[in-house]
A and B are shown apart, each in its own frame.
Chain A
Amino acid sequence: MEILVDQLRFAYPRDGFVLRVDRLGMPAGGRLALVGPSGSGKSTLLRLLAGIHRPQSGTVRVGGTNLAALGEGARRAFRIRHTGFVFQDFQLVDSLNVRQNIRLPYRIHPALRWDRAAATRLQALAESCGIADKLGRPIDRLSQGERQRVAICRALVTAPGLILADEPTGNLDPAGKRAVLELLLCEADKAGAGLVLVTHDRQLLEPFDRVIDAAGFHQAAAAPGPGVPDAT
């Protein structure tokens, strides 16, 4: 799914933080890395792309749909149908085992229907990520790397057109980081999905088509003016 952000402005209520992006684009199936110091707005932009936040002004188009024009319910429905989100701290549900965690999106929104194809996809993803033998295992009996693999499977099981990954390697050792990144890229390629990844680690940027330093978003906000140049 292609991404097109235009004249975006977002500020947290009761917070001095302001994010401004004049123009940002990514073609369908593209790979975009967002880097930058903490507090620069990387994760905020990712959430705007996911429709978790709604901009005060501007447009955020994902696959042609302007998320800024959608209401809360419609954005949630769009998100669960078309995007997969991988969080830095995995954010798995302790009370569910591996299989149930991967299947979670199907349990929490009627827009997704659990069928044979979805079950086959779950099994294939688990095998591809090397956790097929751990599907019945409780989450608290997995290593950090295994948990992140579960989180990746959960993001991909709905066959989304766009994968959003918020520092997915942040809690992993160097070997684990590379393995998870390769897995993400491989699965995104297989699914034909676009990938936007937020990271601090500049050693992981090589496979990406485009790298954007989010510091520019924040600087632009701090100094009102033309904002970030066209990043497409």
Chain B
Amino acid sequence: MIDLFQLAWRHLLHHRGRTLVLVLCLTVALVLPWITRTLANLWQDGLLARAEATPLVIGAAGSRFDLVLHVLNFQTDPPGTFAQAEREAVVQSGHARVIPLHVRFRARGWPVVGTTLDYFEFRNLEVAQGRGLIRLGDCVVGAEAARVLGLQPGDFLRTDRTGVFDLAGGQPLELRVNGVLGGNGSADDRAVFVDLHTAWVIEGIGHGHDDVGQVDGETGEGGDGSGGVVLERGPGHVVAGPALRTHQRITDDNIGSFHFHGDPSGYPLTALIALPPDERSTTLLLGRYAAGDSRHQAQQPPQVAAELIGMVARMKHWFDLQQGLLALVAGLLAGLVFWLSVRLRRGELRTMAHLGCARGTIVIMLAMELALLAALALAAAWAVNRLVAGLAADWVRALAG
């Protein structure tokens, strides 16, 4: 048998080009469904793990999938915003500890997550370099985001403008990178964390500017002629014009000038992570939103994630069918090439038969060639799958949450 194996191997080696084409055909047929399955499993595992670690989320009414994915991966837009008063309401109900989230902005493409220090404790996030959030305007960057953006403590990171025509939107803010988190293979690696108040500054609810009380002159003109710094000064109030300089970076010198307008209970949030102490509190909290509150919703991420995975699994059947067909076509193509090559070798095989080689032996030799091709393709597909899985694992898990 070893002799036949050597004959088969030498034949494949001698016809390297043809062998390569056949191996490529078979590898493609194997590797595409394999990688899809691997990545889908990674996504599924990542999503489920993150969901399991997030008992309950509360947000604006709308798509439950959007709300849950928003909390888990920060990439999905929330169904809407809601007033901070809801956070207070949940706390006052005594059914859960809550962690607020405000994720509406991005910094160089990475989601800016406004939250409280409780979030770091809840997710067991540890600062690998630098320090945590200390003051307004600080940020702590996830490991992957820091690596890609080349950030380290002491650097500055400017938030993205929300839109050219979004005149009411907040101005970009330069965040001071105070620390970099250690990686945990989740969406936290791909996020920029700020204090909730910093998120509201980016939103434009809070800001810092020159002290209008110190501006010289009654109605000083802006340098560019666009308007006065002080439009009106009356007893107990000053009306500032567009020339008033607002701060784009929060420093020790100007932090005192930052202040917020409006009622804090109305400040926006995009989600709450609720941490009920027991099953009863969970049930009561879910009941509270199920009955009567049409503006908010409460969801249990494990259940929603399972539902989502179930939907994806149903769609996956079609993907599997599609890829099965692709594999079949590639397999047929490889079979055709092999059959043609056997036809081209008819003389060689006839010589073997004339020398006295049994028909079954020739069949075994050809089968060995096929088996070798399949083994090579399998090895190549395994290697590609491992490579892709290794390279994409963190990315896929982070996409999942």
Check if B355 sits within 8 Å of A104, measured CB to CB: yes
Tell me if B63 is interfacial: C-beta within 8 Å of chain A.
no
Which of A50, A72, A78 contacts B354 (CB under 8 A)? A50
> Which residues does chain A contribute within 8 Å of B13, judged by CB atoms?
95
CB contacts under 8 Å to B, within A11-52, are 47, 50, 52
Check if B355 sits within 8 Å of A107, measured CB to CB: no
Check if B358 sits within 8 Å of A76, measured CB to CB: yes
Question: Range of interface residues on chain A?
Answer: 20 to 34
CB distance from A90 to the nearest CB of B (A): 9
Q: Which residue from chain B places its CB closest to the CB of A108 in the assembled complex?
A: B357
CB distance from A169 to the nearest CB of B (A): 19
CB distance from B149 to the nearest CB of A (A): 55
Tell me if A91 is interfacial: C-beta within 8 Å of chain B.
yes
- Interface residue count for B (Cβ, 8 Å)? 23
Tell me if A79 is interfacial: C-beta within 8 Å of chain B.
yes
Q: Which residue from chain B places its CB closest to the CB of A77 in the assembled complex?
A: B356
Check if A94 sits within 8 Å of B7, measured CB to CB: no
Check if B357 sits within 8 Å of A109, measured CB to CB: yes
> Which residues does chain A contribute within 8 Å of B348, judged by CB atoms?
91, 93-94
CB distance from A5 to the nearest CB of B (A): 19
Check if B10 sits within 8 Å of A95, measured CB to CB: yes
> Which residues does chain A contribute within 8 Å of B351, judged by CB atoms?
87, 91-93
> Which residues does chain B contribute within 8 Å of A81, judged by CB atoms?
356
Check if B352 sits within 8 Å of A108, measured CB to CB: yes
Tell me if B279 is interfacial: C-beta within 8 Å of chain A.
no
Which of B3, B15, B352, B358 contacts A95 (CB under 8 A)? B15
Tell me if A73 is interfacial: C-beta within 8 Å of chain B.
yes
Q: What 0/1 pattern do residues 93 to 109 of A give for CB contact below 8 A with B? A: 11110001000111111
- Chain B: interface secondary structure? helix
Tell me if B11 is interfacial: C-beta within 8 Å of chain A.
yes
> Which residues does chain B contribute within 8 Å of A106, judged by CB atoms?
3
**Residue of A52, A72, A73, A93 with most chain B CB atoms under a 10 A cut-off:** A93
CB contacts under 8 Å to A, within B335-378, are 347-348, 350-359, 361, 365
Check if B3 sits within 8 Å of A80, measured CB to CB: no
> Which residues does chain B contribute within 8 Å of A72, judged by CB atoms?
359
Check if A76 sits within 8 Å of B347, measured CB to CB: no
Tell me if B246 is interfacial: C-beta within 8 Å of chain A.
no
Tell me if A85 is interfacial: C-beta within 8 Å of chain B.
yes
Check if B356 sits within 8 Å of A108, measured CB to CB: yes
26 of the cross-chain contacts (CB-CB < 8 Å) are: A47-B354, A72-B359, A73-B358, A76-B353, A76-B356, A77-B358, A78-B356, A79-B356, A80-B355, A80-B356, A85-B354, A91-B354, A94-B14, A95-B15, A96-B7, A96-B10, A100-B10, A105-B355, A107-B7, A108-B352, A108-B355, A108-B361, A108-B365, A109-B361, A111-B356, A154-B355
